[in-house]
Structure 1
Amino acid sequence: MQGIEPKIHQEVIKRMNDLEQLLKQTPEPDRTHTDEIFMMNTELSALYDEYLSIKKRLETCIKLYRVRHVEIRKQLTQNIRKLRRETINHK
């Protein structure tokens, strides 16, 4: 999660800052960069949607990993207990 998510997060933040700067530079009545603002807003929305999608997939993977990890630990614990009982019984 730390490898993928920060890259997209940084890109979204960078684009948000770019859009914010463009809006600050352009006075309200004279929006000459309207097309540029619209394009940046569209791009920002797409980046944010991608960010949310990846975050959701990562969270799902983490949950599945956790479930599998717990299952394997239970199996290992049972096997260890069985082996201990067998070694104690053979002595």
Structure 2
Amino acid sequence: MQGIEPKIHQEVMRRMNDLEQLLKESPDQNQAFNEDVSAMNAELTYLYEDYLTTKKKLENCIKLYRSRHIEIRKQLTQNIRKLRRETVLQNK
């Protein structure tokens, strides 16, 4: 998540800053300006929704990975204990 999320976050922040800059630079509200703002707002909304969706998917993947990792570690620990017992019994 740390590798992907910052890239998406940076893109959302960059587009948000672009929209804010456009609003500051254009005090006269003409038709073209309103269309640009609407287009940028729609794009920003899409990027933000995509960011939230991706973040949620990544969080779910991390939870699944963690639970699977714990399950495998438990199985591995049991197998190691079994092998140790067998080794000890063979050495006697």
Normalising to structure 1: TM-score of the pair?
0.91
- Paired with 1:34 and 1:23, the residues of 2 have a C-alpha distance of 10
CA apart distance, 1:20 = 0.3
Q: Any residues of structure 2 matched to 1:1-80 within 5 Å, and which?
A: 1-27=1-27, 30-32=28-30, 33-80=33-80
Aligned residues: 89
- Paired with 2:23 and 2:16, the residues of 1 have a C-alpha distance of 11
Superposition misfits of 4+ residues, deviation over 6 angstroms: none
- Paired with 1:77 and 1:8, the residues of 2 have a C-alpha distance of 38
Q: C-alpha root-mean-square deviation of aligned residues, in Å?
A: 1.0
Where structure 2 has 5 or more consecutive residues not aligned to the other structure, the ranges are none
Question: Percent identical across equivalent pairs?
Answer: 70
Where structure 1 has 5 or more consecutive residues not aligned to the other structure, the ranges are none
Q: In the alignment, residue 48 of structure 2 is paired with which amino acid?
A: Y
Normalising to structure 2: TM-score of the pair?
0.90
Provide the secondary structure at the position in 2 that maps to 1:3. Answer: coil
